[in-house]
Amino acid sequence: MAVSPLSESPKTATCVATVLVDGAQSTIDVRPDETVLEAAKRAGLNPPFACEEGNCGTCMARLVAGRVEMRVNDALTDEDVADGYVLTCQSVPQTPSVTVDYA
């Protein structure tokens, strides 16, 4: 698993994301250039979120598998990121599949 700043290269493939919210596991499609949070909301899931700008940390989840790039990160410390946490409102998948856990 890895997190890196968002690159300028466009993504063209859909990602399959496994999302764990309140103990329930769902598998959803994430469109190219869509964040994990946007896809989760579109799929009818109820993940935690507030600002959707990368500032508050409410949407923080652990990246269990795959790789994402965060558009903005004004909420997580370097230690949080090193521990595998991401802001799902800013996380664009960079691998064919990712898994995030909001626990």
DSSP 8-state code for residue 71: S
- Confidence at residue 13, expressed as pLDDT on a 0 to 100 scale: 85
Instruction: For residue 9, tell me if it sits in a domain.
Output: no
pLDDT tens for 38-76 read 999 999 999 999 999 999 999 999 999 999 999 999 999
Instruction: For residue 5, tell me if it sits in a domain.
Output: no
Instruction: For residue 6, tell me if it sits in a domain.
Output: no
Give me the mean pLDDT over the 67-92 stretch: 98
Q: How confident is the model at residue 101 (pLDDT cuts 50, 70, 90)?
A: very high
pLDDT tens for 9-30 read 555 689 999 999 999 999 999 9
Residue 49's CATH number: 3.10.20.30
Instruction: For residue 1, tell me if it sits in a domain.
Output: no
What is the CA angle 66-67-72, rounded to 5? 145
Q: Which domain holds residue 79?
A: 15-101
Number of domains in the chain: 1
Q: Are 87 and 76 in contact (CB under 8 A)?
A: yes
| pTM, 2 dp | 0.88
Query: Does 91 have pLDDT greater than 90?
Result: yes
User: Exposure of 19 by Cβ count < 10 A (0-12 exposed, 13-18 middle, 19+ buried)?
Assistant: buried
Instruction: For residue 4, tell me if it sits in a domain.
Output: no
* Beta-carbon count within 10 A of 47 CB: 21
What three-state secondary structure class fits 67? strand
Instruction: For residue 37, tell me if it sits in a domain.
Output: yes
Instruction: For residue 73, tell me if it sits in a domain.
Output: yes
Instruction: For residue 8, tell me if it sits in a domain.
Output: no
- 53-58: which pairs have CB atoms within 8 A and are 24 or more residues apart? 53/89, 54/87, 54/89, 54/90, 57/87
Q: Are 73 and 87 in contact (CB under 8 A)?
A: yes
